[in-house]
Amino acid sequence: MINKKIIEFQDMVYQRLHSLTEGVSNCIGTALYLVGELDHDRYIWKGRNHRLFRMTPLLEPIPGAIASWNNYKTLSKHMAVVTSVNPLRLVQRYECKGKIEIDISINNIDLVFLKELGDNRTFHLPKKLEVALKR
């Protein structure tokens, strides 16, 4: 059963989702904005891992978590937000300044970003969601 606080957090994510426009950001900036790590949707590349490593790593995804696809050096090359876990679905911005894709299967994203030896996927708990869950 999904925690009420997770549902409230997802409501914030969906409210922010409706304010997005195409041609403004990249996948990382959009994911961080949707979960409240940024005040507005913007292009983020430098500092992306610093923001990710400040979040608590998760062994299993939960709704509202950040999913990150990383290279062998553990540098994030793509981020999305988990919207459901069974089945595992996400919301993402496809490519830099690309369109917003809602309810995407994680398998579709894995096919694009898990091609090279050492590539991996991790899940992280955004700070706002972590604070909400502790209340």
Predicted confidence (pLDDT) per residue in 45-85, tens digit: 887 788 888 999 999 999 999 999 988 777 888 999 999 99
Residues 21-46: what's their mean pLDDT?
Answer: 89
Q: pTM of the full predicted structure?
A: 0.89
92: tokens are 């993402």
CATH class label, 4-134: alpha beta
Cα 6 to the center of its chain, rounded Å: 15
Q: Give the pLDDT confidence score for residue 135 in this predicted structure.
A: 76
The domain limits of the chain are 4-134
| Chain segment 17-26, per-residue pLDDT in tens | 888 877 778 9
Q: Residue 1 pLDDT > 60, yes or no?
A: no
Q: Give the pLDDT confidence score for residue 2 in this predicted structure.
A: 58
| Chain segment 103-120, per-residue pLDDT in tens | 999 988 888 888 888 888
Residues 40-48: what's their mean pLDDT?
Answer: 85
Under the banding of pLDDT at 50, 70 and 90, the label for residue 89 is very high
In the block, tokens 């304010």 appear at 19
Q: Residue 8 pLDDT > 80, yes or no?
A: yes
Question: Long-range pairs for 3-8 at CB < 8 Å and ≥24 separation?
Answer: 3/133, 5/129, 5/132, 5/133, 5/135, 6/62, 6/63, 6/64, 6/129, 6/132, 6/133, 8/132
DSSP per-residue letters across 55-104: SEEESS--TTPEEEEE-TT--EEEEEEEEEETTEEEEEE-STT--EEEEE
Residues 8-25: what's their mean pLDDT?
Answer: 85
24 DSSP assignment: S
